[in-house]
Amino acid sequence: MRFIVSTTTLLKQLQSVSGALSNSTVLPILENFLFEIKDGNLTISATDLQTSMTTSLPVEAKENGRIAIPSRILLDTLKSLPEQPVSFSVDEKTFAIEISAGDGKYKLSGENGEDFPKIPVVENASSVNLPASVLGEAINKTIFAVSNDELRPAMTGVYCQLSSQHLTFVATDAHKLVRYRRKDAKADSTTAFILPKKALTLLKSALPDSDVNVSVEYNSTSAFFKFGNINLVCRLIDERYPDYEAVIPKENPNKLAIDRLSLLGTLSRVAIYANKTTHQVRLKISGSELNISSEDIDFANEAHERLTCQYEGTDLEIGFNARFLIEMLKNLSCEEVSLEMSTPNRAGLLLPQGGDENEDVLMLVMPVMLNSYA
């Protein structure tokens, strides 16, 4: 089997699917790319058995065939080569591979492509089409709030609810929660599933800047994303998602409106002086004044800043983990935000003001108990 392809074209396609590779020592073949040639078209696959990605590109080839090629050495070789045609010759009996590029020849050992795991196909699937920008925005706005706690597997992914009214994406780690809803994206039937974080991270980096259509197919076990020449299929997290609506407080009489970047800047500075374990900051609101302070008693560090805000409600003092608030504010793009609260021991809601009317973003952050410094 022999084929010729451009180094930069091949490298770009390999990098687009390389995130799905596995470092499995149990199944060493998962450290390989699968190359399949059929009628002058090269399909490249990578998988860790939970998430699989494939891409394809035209090449100069006379025969069909398949070979598993070690990913690390191939990527490193292509990265170090200038743009030029490169030819691959594969011995189909010994799986020896010879790469010729300019005056260089490089030999490596591949594996039998027949031993590579089959890339799953989603059968009996329902489908929905989404613009790449909508899907990308949904991932960006939620993925940071996903839990890393393997003991609660349901929360290690993003919960997707599809209905004929809207699409909702939810992520939580029990300290913070994000609900991202699109009114301009709908599905024919109502369903819900949990997408794993790794698949969403791969999607996020693979989605194009141009607003192409992404076809999403899903059944009870898997989801399949297709756009351009990229296919991604992942196994869904088979768990029951917690009732997130129950933790969103409905009555929040204390409402604070403030410039997002001013609040972000102040929190970023004040947080430097906070306790390194709790990252606690204190928000003291009275009238149209917001005082943000922190202290680390162990090192006698403390910081205070005052901001002007619009506030409706009773005077309030409440503590939050600064890292959570900073993360949330960084993942919003609006000019002004609203912080809605009820009491110092109940969750606060961070809501963007203005922006896209088809987008409904709600971010929830749990308070921390204030220690009694003045």
Contacts of 118 (CB under 8 A, 6+ apart): none
Same domain, 173 and 228: yes
Same domain, 219 and 289: no
Same domain, 54 and 147: no
Domains in the chain, number: 3
Report if residue 373 sits inside a domain.
no
Contacts of 41 (CB under 8 A, 6+ apart): 56, 57, 58, 59
Same domain, 9 and 104: yes
Same domain, 135 and 238: yes
Same domain, 267 and 234: no
Of 115, 146, 178, the last residue of a domain is 115
Pairing of strands 157-162, 359-365: unpaired
Q: How many Cβ atoms are within 10 Å of 167's Cβ, its own excluded?
A: 22
Query: What string of pLDDT tens digits covers the 374 residues of the chain?
Result: 999 999 999 999 999 999 999 877 789 999 999 999 999 999 999 999 999 999 999 999 999 999 999 999 999 999 999 999 999 999 999 999 999 999 999 999 999 999 999 998 888 889 999 999 999 999 999 999 999 999 999 999 999 999 999 999 999 999 999 999 999 888 888 999 999 999 999 999 999 887 899 999 999 999 999 999 999 999 999 999 999 999 999 999 999 999 999 999 999 999 999 999 999 999 999 999 999 999 999 999 999 999 999 999 999 999 999 999 999 999 998 999 999 999 999 999 999 998 788 899 999 999 998 865 44
Same domain, 199 and 235: yes
Phi first, then psi, for residue 27 (nearest 5°) are -120, 85
Same domain, 182 and 282: no
Same domain, 163 and 210: yes
Q: Which residues span the domain enclosing 356?
A: 248-368
Phi first, then psi, for residue 78 (nearest 5°) are -65, -35
Report if residue 104 sits inside a domain.
yes
Same domain, 328 and 252: yes
| Structure token digits, residue 359 | 């987008």
Q: How far is residue 162 from each of residues 30, 124, 182, 351, measured CA to CA in Å?
A: 33, 17, 10, 22
Q: What is the DSSP string of 136-177?
A: HHHHHHHGGG----TTSGGGGEEEEEE-SS-EEEEEE-SSEE
DSSP state, residue 326: H
Same domain, 133 and 231: yes
Dihedral Cα 36, 49, 31, 55, nearest 10 deg: 40
Of 76, 92, 115, the last residue of a domain is 115
Give the CATH number for residue 110: 3.10.150.10
Report if residue 121 sits inside a domain.
no
